[in-house]
Amino acid sequence: MPYVTTADGTQIHYTDWGTGQPVILSHGWPLSSDAWAVELKLLADNGYRAIAHDRRGHGKSSGPWEGNDMDTYAADLNALVEHLDLHDIVLVGHSTGGGEVVRYAAQYGAGRVAKVFTAGAVPPIMVKSESNPDGTPIEAFDGLRASVLADRSQFYEELATPFYGANRDGATVSQGLIDDFWRQGMNVNIKAAYDCIKAFSESDFTEDLKALDVPIFIAQGDDDQIVPVADAAEKSIKLVKNGTLKLYKGAPHGIAGAYQQELDQDILAFIKS
């Protein structure tokens, strides 16, 4: 089972399939690289080297007490890239992973990163403040933290419903998908799950987005109930130099069903473009 050891001794687990141009996929919270299983196979089948890692404290990676912050996540990704000596990379990030790949590309990606693709990503910044009056109030994130501490098992079961839009009329979200969301969530250690809420909600990616000099495709469902589209994709596209914005009608935050099928074809097309 492949791991890379970071500067602080954390072991980051990763999957590495196929050959060709490398595509690195970064998962959302509270998931793991398992969330990219379909995309890993799809990319490898289409002639790419598909790589997905478990963020520290998530999935099969080790979970130290420290380092559950966006700067360290980006540094961990850099350790993986250097370990595999990757170049001409396409980065794909969902939700929290979208923030991770944007920060990595801005701070470490020069000469290595060719393109960036985000889906339902948290940039530029989620939390409400004087400088971001349209953001989500801090009390909402405090509520997430309280739920993780109180009964995270029940919380993850309930969170899966809005995450995948199962509460919408006509939704066809399977119980299996909800169960798998719960399974991945329960594999995140409680410290990492708790700390990551601050990382994804309070990290400011404004300067990272401005610094990107490679093409970026910014994708988001227009019915995202987790990351408000008006405060995420629609703001991010205004900050990047070479961006494409696509909103998916009726699509939720979680990547599944018809949304996943369309998104995956867009990922392949963007890589080839």
Catalytic residues: 95, 224, 253
Q: 43: alpha, beta or left, given left = phi > 0 and alpha = psi -120 to 50?
A: alpha
For residue 178, count CB atoms less than 10 angstroms from its CB and return exposed for 0-12, middle for 13-18, buried for 19 or more.
buried
Residues 270 and 266: their CA atoms lie apart, in Å, by: 6
Parallel, antiparallel, or unpaired for β 3-5 and 11-17? antiparallel
- Helix, strand, coil distribution of the chain in percent, nearest 5: 45, 15, 40
What's phi and psi for 253, nearest 5 deg? -75, -50
Helix (H) or strand (E) holding 103: helix 96-108
DSSP type of residue 10: P
Total Cβ atoms within 10 A of residue 257? 17
Instruction: Provide Rg for the chain, Cα atoms.
Output: 17
Measured over the CA atoms of residue 199, residue 160, residue 136 and residue 212, the dihedral's sign is: positive
Q: What angle do CA 75, 76, 82 make, to 5 degrees?
A: 85
Q: Yes or no: say if 124 and 209 are a contact pair by the CB < 8 Å rule.
A: yes
What's phi and psi for 229, nearest 5 deg? -60, -35
